[in-house]
Structure 1
Amino acid sequence: MESENTSEMCAKEGRSLDTGKLREMVDLDRGLIDRRLFWDEPIYQLELERIFARTWLFVAHESQVSQPGDFLTTYMGEDGVIVARDRSGAVNVFLNSCPHRGNKVCFAEEGNRRRFTCNYHGWSFGNDGVLLGMPAEELYKSTCEEFDKSKLGLHRARVASYKGLIFATFNERAPELEEHLGDFRWYLDVLLDNDEGGTEFLGGNLKSIIRCNWKIPAENFTGDSYHAAWTHNSAAVGMMGLTVGKIDQERTYAANMNGHGWQFGMDMIGNAMGMAEQEVLDYLRSREADVAARLGKLRSRMVGAVSSANVFPNFSFLPGYNTFRTWQPQGPRQIQVQTWTLVNRNAPDSVKEKYRRGVARTFSPSGLFEMDDGENWENCTQTNAGFVTRKQKLHYGLGMNSEIEHDELKGNVHLRKYNDANQRAFYRQWLELMCAE
């Protein structure tokens, strides 16, 4: 009998991790987390099955596939997918794998096509994933009794969108996207709905590799303001001539729901100052009254504020810098980072260009801030795998009793964004999905 490959063996071992073992690894009452979460192969294989194959994942912005025939290729977990708009105007997401022998049917990153043809045997598919034809089709019809072309299209995912953001899931039993996002939509509107013209992704997609576990950057963006004043201080001094300084913690918050998290202040343009572009600051100030009329005074102060956010599991962004990214897993110890710049569609072209340059200067493979983060994330992943090191649990106990009632803010709200509340909420959602059969 052929031996099982490593992934199959690890997947079986991962499924043998019963609920009790997993819950021992994530002690939310005490704020302690097992280091095995960040390097263990069986745990990672179980994540692919129970998180990435089950929940809604961000795949594109509608502006990236705005015309019929437009497409891009990306990943859902380690599953390659094509996101394409068909002739009817509908957006489809399907596996980038031919059902004949499994070859990729599209090697391009983006473009416009009427069909996708596998270069192994010539099977051809529409931009709705339907099998259109193959060489010697008559032989299939005459020699294969069960041949049914309608059942041999590219495997499709469910697709839904929220104000320009397109999500997909291969789980037919997953709740609707609006339920998955929940009250987080109220926060997303700070970026997605502060102008009547909506938003767009600027052209181009920065891609880079970081040798870290996907959860480390995801939890960082869901709410690790604590690191900024220390990790990024030298970059802030070098770029702006300013120290990060002490933040007034009594006017900052952490909010979470369904594993999504947003940590923020009410300083309006605090984070945008990192763009070091006066035109961007002037643009934000000029729109404050209009945003307040549209979203309310409180949310108008969140536009451009010092903040970070993550949509569970792996879709993160920085309001203020307007950088959006996904942490695509490539094993338990490596990710591919995909980075875009989001702008208001109605913003002046010069402002859009300032945002593009600002993202490249701060959070890109050569960005001053991202280089700081990437080095830390790689070291965390590598160090956690040590035999003796892994015996010690990691501490996630900051702000255990910080939850408050707030008249306007949605979700589970905590005072002070120097807080591990959103990280604990992230791992609570992680644990719930990992323990669900």
Structure 2
Amino acid sequence: MNEIIKLRPIETSEPLKNLDRICDMESGRMSGKIFWDKDIYEQELEKVFARCWLFVAHESQLPKAGDYLTTTMGEDEVLVVRQKDASIRVMLNACPHRGNKVCFAEAGNARGFICNYHGWSFGADGGRLMGMHESKCYEESGFDKSQHGLRQARVASYKGLVFATFAEDAPTLEEYLGPMTWYLDVMLDMDEGGSEFFGGCIRSTIECNWKIAAENFVGDILHGGWTHDSAAKAMLGGPVTNVGELPESYSVNWNGHGYEFATDVVGNAATLGEREINKYLHTLRPKVAERLGEFRSKLIGAISSFTVFPNFSFLPGQNTVRVWQPRGPDKIDLYTWVIVNKNAPQEIKDKWRRGAMMTFSPTGVFEMDDGENWEYCTKTSRGMVTRYQDLYVGLGMHTRIDDSELPGNVFRGQLNECNARAFYQRWKDLLQSPTWADVPDRNGKMR
């Protein structure tokens, strides 16, 4: 396989001023300016999306050599390609001649990729330029093809989830995810066959800032009993359990990643309106207890949500996985998939897919509620006075459980904004840090 070409590193601009004033998580306050300011957004593309590990695919989407899909990392177009040796490569979907896309299809199988503009061609690994239209005129000018490959990202996987980063100084994926993998296993490793994406990708557009959506999933169950009350009653066919009345629930975070959860087994799954899914999970639970322990067996379909910083979120039980792709400070493209146990019966997989379409899709009973709220959180923040109004993020201060045996930074209860504070603190730390080595470790210090 061709050697990866070393290209010049991404330059880092000066940190923005006044971030401490507009984002103060010690006091649980921030400004709505962070949701619309264009300068802040440009810094996010550079210091968050160009440096963090970002989800790009599930391995089940690329079963054979030559299988590929196109996606984005921030606003950078990328190709994700399965190689002959079964590895996966991620590279810029941009020709190094004039920057045109080299692949316009969403997915497929190919031996290589050719730019429509001047015929520059690349193998499936993208490592080197293989040829071009009118190649003789290049040769006469002393052109070295070996120095013009598609820019390569670092790639790593965790139990089927494929992540990539363009930052050479970023920590390893294992270090980046830290103890949160213990919780990810509730979705990814509850069954010996592992997980897979089932069905296609649901794509939609919401006119909101990406952070509002990511924060909602990092730990905002508070809105559920109000925003989704009527939808939940419709799907459940009766009264909804008050989250505050659940016997045991927690919020856990680590370096901006966050998971809020109850221990009620099938709370989220029940809102799909498919009783057979509930039965399947209850039947599976004893095996999960053997595999992951009694505690995690109570989380497999529970009321919960999860965000891997910055923009990759889960709804366990609902089994939707989504990426909030930034398209400016006030717009996102939402990519949504259904994730299931590979060994689950076909009819259960079908019910999960139909349930997801009923609930969390562009016409779903829950997602329409969220989309409207997120859009107006973004739009109202443009006002000259409103943009500097303090927004409160202080719910659950001083609820940390210091002697918990659970991994990560553990806080009492789901009705808590500790995960949001950790999310925004990580966001601010990255924007203020020239390199990964400068990013503070605040684990154990957030309230």
Relative to the length of structure 2, the TM-score reads 0.92
Contact map agreement 1:249 1:418 (CA 8 A) in 2: no
Q: Is 1:429 aligned to residue 426 of structure 2?
A: yes
**Deviation at residue 132 of structure 1 after TM alignment:** 1.6
Return the alpha-carbon distance in structure 2 between the equivalents of residues 60 and 123 of structure 1. 26
Aligned to 2:27: 30
Residue 407 of structure 1: how far off its partner (Å):
4.3
Query: How far, CA to CA, are the matches of 2:116 and 2:387 in structure 1?
Result: 46
Match of 2:163 in 1: 167
1:119 aligns with 2:127: no
Aligned residue type for 1:168:
A
Q: Which residue of 2 aligns with 1:245?
A: 241
Aligned residue in 1 for 2:337: 340
Give, in whole Å, the separation in 2 of the partners of 1:260 and 1:68: 32
CA contact under 8 A between 2:15 and 2:433: conserved in structure 1?
A: no
Q: How do 1:198-347 residues align onto structure 2 when only pairs under 5 Å count?
A: 198-247=194-243, 248=245, 251-347=248-344
1:249/1:416 Cα in 2 relative to 1: closer, same or farther (>3 Å)? farther
- Which residue matches 2:138? 140
SS at match of 1:160: strand
- Partner of 1:202: helix, strand, or coil? strand
- Mapped contact 2:235–2:272 kept (Cα < 8 A): no
Query: SS state of the match for residue 162, structure 2?
Result: strand
In terms of fraction of residues, the more helix-rich structure is: 1
Give the 3-state SS of the residue equivalent to 2:171 in structure 1.
Answer: coil
Contact 2:15–2:432, Cα closer than 8 Å, also in 1? no
Cα shift at 1:271: 1.0
> Secondary structure in 1 aligned to 2:152?
coil
Indicate if the aligned counterparts of 2:307 and 2:313 stay in contact, CA closer than 8 A.
yes
CA distance in 2 between counterparts of 1:242 and 1:416 reads: 24
Unaligned 5+ segments in structure 2 are 1-10, 435-447
DSSP-derived class of the 2:283 partner: helix
Give 1:203 deviation, angstroms.
Answer: 2.6
SS at match of 1:140: helix
1:228 touches 1:244 (CA, 8 Å); kept in 2? no
Corresponding residue SS for 1:283: helix
Any unmatched runs of 5+ in structure 1? Answer: 1-10
SS at match of 2:253: strand
What is the identity, as a one-letter code, of the residue corresponding to 2:255? Answer: N
Aligned length: 422
- Per the normalisation by structure 1, the TM-score is 0.95
Conserved 8 A contact 1:262-1:307: yes
Aligned residue in 2 for 1:88? 85
Q: Distance in 1 between matches of 2:15 and 2:278?
A: 53
Task: Specify whether residues 346 and 16 from structure 1 end up closer, same or farther in structure 2 by C-alpha distance, changes over 3 A only.
Answer: closer
Deviation at 1:249, TM superposition (A): 5.0
2:369 corresponding residue in structure 1: 372
Q: Which deviates more, 261-270 or 119-128?
A: 119-128
Deviation per residue, 1:146-172 (Å, 9 max, x gap): x22122111110000000000000001
Cα distance in 2 between the residues matched to 1:312 and 1:279: 33
Cα deviations across residues 291-327 of structure 1 (Å, max 9, x unaligned)? 0000000000010000000000000010010000000
Secondary structure of 2:222's partner?
A: helix
Q: Would you say 1:58 and 2:38 are equivalent positions?
A: no
| Counterpart residue number, 2:172 | 176
Check whether the contact 1:399–1:419 (CA below 8 A) recurs between aligned residues: yes
In structure 1, distance between residues paired with 2:373 and 2:50: 28
Give me the whole-angstrom Cα distance separating, in 1, the residues matched to 2:59 and 2:178. 21
For the residues of structure 2 that align with 1:418 and 1:140, how far apart are their CA atoms? 63
| Equivalent position SS for 1:205 | strand
What CA distance in whole angstroms lies between the structure 2 residues aligned with 1:322 and 1:110? 23
1:16–1:246 CA distance, 2 compared to 1 (3 A)? closer
Mapped to 1, the partners of 2:341 and 2:193 lie a distance apart of 7
Aligned identity (percent) is 55
Structure 1 Cα separation of the partners of residues 286 and 37 of structure 2: 50
Residue pair 2:404, 2:410 contacting (<8 A) in 1 also = no
Note the C-alpha offset of 1:243.
Answer: 3.1
